[in-house]
């Protein structure tokens, strides 16, 4: 992994089996992605809560007041500046960064000319248009109507993490990836399992329709540029807009190079540390790795299945805790029924369960470095404490000893309890659950053992 310090990460290339023209297309897109980092650098500013999205001297309340008069001030796609008269003005990204964007669009259009795939060519044209005219919705709708294609190219102002003032402004980013056939086939197989087990409980409604529109892919990523290079996500789910997602579907992408790095540096060492020897010995590294990867896609697949319109409003600060752990748990619950159908082996299921526990520790370690991700750690604390309480996990000599049969039986109980809170739970229900189960002590007791990893 090469950190360039310029908000670009290029991953080592392996032979991806591209044709000559595909290779040319990819090279153009990587060039376009690289240029996006230049725009990103104009937006980011770690010293400022509002990054460079707002003038340095503007207070939060001044911005809010200005936005009442001019809603564009808080549009996700404008830079806010001070006009000559001192008033705040909103300048659309596609105007502010026009010069840079024209260079990017030119490369994308060149790639569109080279590709043999007509749909992809059109997609690239629509993406280039969106960069230049700011109509990202049209671009997203066209993209979601397409069948997943070998080459994956995402570009534009997408994630809001850099706007710590209002969590509104989107930062530019781009990535290029090539579909990993083997892992994508596995992910789609699991997706179909999860979705079909879901159909049984849902009445025919618009929501069921939406289940058909969830796409998942696993990519060998070539480049991250802009915000995503800073954050190094192992997966992403787009679009972010819930209404759009409901109408047109969503696509999750797992980024293999990021996943592998996390696995090697963190998840595998945690796995080797926290469990009793007797638990570890039957599994090969490959089996464990596939358990970890399956946790990643089960989580991504389950997220869109757990959207309840008013859960954020009801659960307030507890919402993210339940949102994340419910997604992880629902997928595992679905795996339980696969086991019954012989669709996966007992051993495969066990490796998924083990890596589910490991993920909890991995989030706890992330939380020690970055407190803002505490809700992931708390969510997994709920799950692990729940299993310890009902005897599905025993603590033996300072190590974890799961009883897979018990875990299998109680995971659907837990999944249902979590989903009930998301669907109809009150703030009090959420609070009681958190008070009872979310203590991070379950992780802290392994602190000494995990010193190396943390
Ligand atoms: Zn999530």
- What is the distance in A from the centroid of ligand 1 to the CA of 253? 12
Q: Quickly count: other Cβ atoms within 10 Å of residue 23's Cβ.
A: 11
- What is the distance in A from the centroid of ligand 1 to the CA of 57? 35
Average pLDDT over residues 401-418: 94
- What is the distance in A from the centroid of ligand 1 to the CA of 56? 32
List beta partners, residue 221.
Answer: 177
Residue 434 exposure: Cα atoms within 13 Å on the Cβ side: 24
Fold classification of 17-174 is: Fructose-1,6-Bisphosphatase; Chain A, domain 1 (3.30.540)
- What is the distance in A from the centroid of ligand 1 to the CA of 99? 36
- What is the distance in A from the centroid of ligand 1 to the CA of 303? 6
Categorise residue 7: left if φ over 0, alpha if ψ from -120 to 50, beta otherwise: left
Average pLDDT over residues 226-234: 90
Judged against a pLDDT cut of 80, whether residue 2 lies above it is answered with no
Average pLDDT over residues 298-309: 86
Per-residue model confidence (pLDDT) at position 312: 87
How far apart CA 27 and CA 222 sit, in angstroms, is 10
Backbone φ and ψ of 158, nearest 5°: -130, -55
Average pLDDT over residues 139-166: 92
- What is the distance in A from the centroid of ligand 1 to the CA of 376? 8
For 275, which DSSP code?
B
Alpha carbon 318 to its chain's center: 19
- What is the distance in A from the centroid of ligand 1 to the CA of 238? 12
Average pLDDT, the chain: 92
Judged against a pLDDT cut of 90, whether residue 266 lies above it is answered with yes
- What is the distance in A from the centroid of ligand 1 to the CA of 324? 5
How far apart CA 382 and CA 360 sit, in angstroms, is 10
Note the pLDDT tens digit of each residue in 345-374: 999 999 999 999 999 999 999 999 888 889
- What is the distance in A from the centroid of ligand 1 to the CA of 187? 16
- What is the distance in A from the centroid of ligand 1 to the CA of 434? 18
- What is the distance in A from the centroid of ligand 1 to the CA of 163? 20
- What is the distance in A from the centroid of ligand 1 to the CA of 295? 11
My answer on whether omega of the bond before 24 falls inside 30° of 0, hence cis, is no
How far apart CA 247 and CA 144 sit, in angstroms, is 10
Average pLDDT over residues 135-159: 93
The torsion defined by the Cα of 323, 325, 330 and 331, in degrees rounded to 10, comes to: 110
Lowest mean pLDDT among 100-109, 162-171, 206-215, 280-289: 206-215
H-helix or E-strand spanning residue 193: helix 181-199
- What is the distance in A from the centroid of ligand 1 to the CA of 299? 6
Beta strands of 180-290 (E only): which ranges? Answer: 214-226, 235-238, 250-255
How far apart CA 183 and CA 292 sit, in angstroms, is 12
- What is the distance in A from the centroid of ligand 1 to the CA of 438? 17
Per-residue model confidence (pLDDT) at position 203: 46
- What is the distance in A from the centroid of ligand 1 to the CA of 125? 31
Q: With contact defined as beta carbons under 8 Å apart, do 210 and 244 qualify?
A: no
- What is the distance in A from the centroid of ligand 1 to the CA of 298? 10
- What is the distance in A from the centroid of ligand 1 to the CA of 246? 17
pTM of the complete model beyond 0.95: no
- What is the distance in A from the centroid of ligand 1 to the CA of 136? 23
Note the pLDDT tens digit of each residue in 188-224: 999 988 888 776 554 444 344 566 688 999 999 999 9
Collapse the DSSP code of 144 into the 3-class scheme (helix H, G, I; strand E, B; otherwise coil) and give the result: helix
- What is the distance in A from the centroid of ligand 1 to the CA of 301? 10
Per-residue model confidence (pLDDT) at position 284: 96
Average pLDDT over residues 320-349: 90
- What is the distance in A from the centroid of ligand 1 to the CA of 288? 21
- What is the distance in A from the centroid of ligand 1 to the CA of 328? 8
Note the pLDDT tens digit of each residue in 16-43: 889 999 999 999 999 999 999 999 999 9
Average pLDDT over residues 393-417: 93
- What is the distance in A from the centroid of ligand 1 to the CA of 329? 11
How far apart CA 434 and CA 378 sit, in angstroms, is 8
- What is the distance in A from the centroid of ligand 1 to the CA of 300? 6
C-alpha separations of 208 from 69, 124, 187, 334 in Å: 40, 30, 20, 17
- What is the distance in A from the centroid of ligand 1 to the CA of 269? 23
How far apart CA 395 and CA 80 sit, in angstroms, is 54
Per-residue model confidence (pLDDT) at position 210: 63
- What is the distance in A from the centroid of ligand 1 to the CA of 87? 39
- What is the distance in A from the centroid of ligand 1 to the CA of 20? 37
Which distant-in-sequence residues (6+ apart) come within 8 Å of 434 by Cβ?
A: 318, 321, 378, 382
Question: Quick one: which of 214, 299, 303, 216 has its CA closest to 252?
Answer: 216
Q: With contact defined as beta carbons under 8 Å apart, do 286 and 323 qualify?
A: no
Sign of CA dihedral 236, 240, 244, 247: positive
H-helix or E-strand spanning residue 3: strand 2-3
- What is the distance in A from the centroid of ligand 1 to the CA of 168? 19
**In the chain, which segments carry CATH 3.30.540?**
17-174
- What is the distance in A from the centroid of ligand 1 to the CA of 320? 9
High-pLDDT (> 70) share of the chain, %: 96
Q: With contact defined as beta carbons under 8 Å apart, do 195 and 207 qualify?
A: no
Q: With contact defined as beta carbons under 8 Å apart, do 363 and 454 qualify?
A: no
Collapse the DSSP code of 356 into the 3-class scheme (helix H, G, I; strand E, B; otherwise coil) and give the result: helix
Average pLDDT over residues 41-68: 96
- What is the distance in A from the centroid of ligand 1 to the CA of 169? 21
């Amino acid at each position: 992994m090469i950190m360039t310090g310029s908000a670009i990460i290029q991953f080592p290339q392996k032979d991806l089996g591209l044709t000559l023209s595909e290779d040319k297309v990819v090279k153009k897109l990587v060039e376009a992605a690289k240029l996006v980092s230049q725009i990103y650098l104009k937006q980011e500013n770690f010293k400022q809560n509002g990054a460079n999205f707002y003038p340095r001297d503007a207070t939060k309340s001044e911005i809010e007041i200005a936005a009442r008069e001019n809603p564009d001030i808080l549009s996700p796609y404008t830079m806010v500046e001070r006009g000559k008269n001192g008033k705040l003005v909103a300048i659309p990204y596609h105007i502010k960064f026009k010069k840079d964007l024209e260079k990017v669009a030119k490369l994308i259009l060149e790639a569109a000319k080279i590709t043999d795939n007509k749909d992809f060519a059109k997609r690239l044209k629509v993406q280039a248009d969106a960069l230049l005219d700011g109509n990202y919705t049209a671009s997203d709708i066209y993209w979601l109507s397409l069948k997943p294609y070998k080459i994956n190219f995402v570009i534009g102002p997408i994630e809001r993490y850099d706007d710590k003032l209002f969590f509104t402004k989107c930062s530019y980013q781009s990535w290029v990836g090539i579909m990993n056939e083997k892992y994508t086939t596995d992910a789609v197989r699991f997706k179909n399992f999860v979705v079909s087990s879901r159909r049984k409980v849902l009445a025919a409604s618009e929501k069921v329709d939406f289940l058909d529109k969830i796409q998942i892919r696993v990519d060998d990523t070539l480049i991250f540029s802009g915000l995503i290079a800073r954050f190094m996500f192992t997966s992403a789910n787009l679009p972010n807009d819930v209404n759009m997602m409901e109408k047109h579907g969503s696509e999750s992408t797992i980024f293999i190079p990021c996943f592998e790095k996390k696995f090697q540096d963190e998840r595998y060492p945690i796995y080797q540390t926290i469990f009793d020897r007797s638990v570890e010995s039957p599994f090969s590294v490959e089996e464990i790795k596939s358990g970890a990867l399956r946790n990643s896609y089960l989580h991504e697949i389950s997220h869109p299945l757990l959207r309840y319109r008013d859960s954020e409003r009801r659960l307030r600060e507890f919402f993210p805790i339940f949102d994340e752990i419910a997604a992880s748990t629902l997928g595992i619950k679905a795996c339980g029924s696969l086991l019954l159908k012989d669709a996966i082996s007992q051993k495969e299921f066990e490796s998924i369960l083990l890596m589910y526990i490991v993920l909890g520790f991995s989030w706890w370690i992330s939380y020690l470095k970055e407190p803002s991700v505490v809700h992931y750690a708390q969510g997994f604390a709920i799950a692990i404490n729940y299993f310890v309480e009902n005897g599905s996990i025993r603590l033996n000599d300072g190590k974890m000893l799961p009883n897979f049969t018990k875990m299998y039986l109680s995971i659907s109980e837990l999944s249902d309890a979590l989903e009930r809170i998301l669907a109809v739970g009150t703030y009090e229900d959420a609070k009681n659950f958190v008070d009872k189960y979310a203590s991070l002590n379950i992780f802290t007791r392994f602190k000494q053992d995990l010193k190396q990893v943390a």
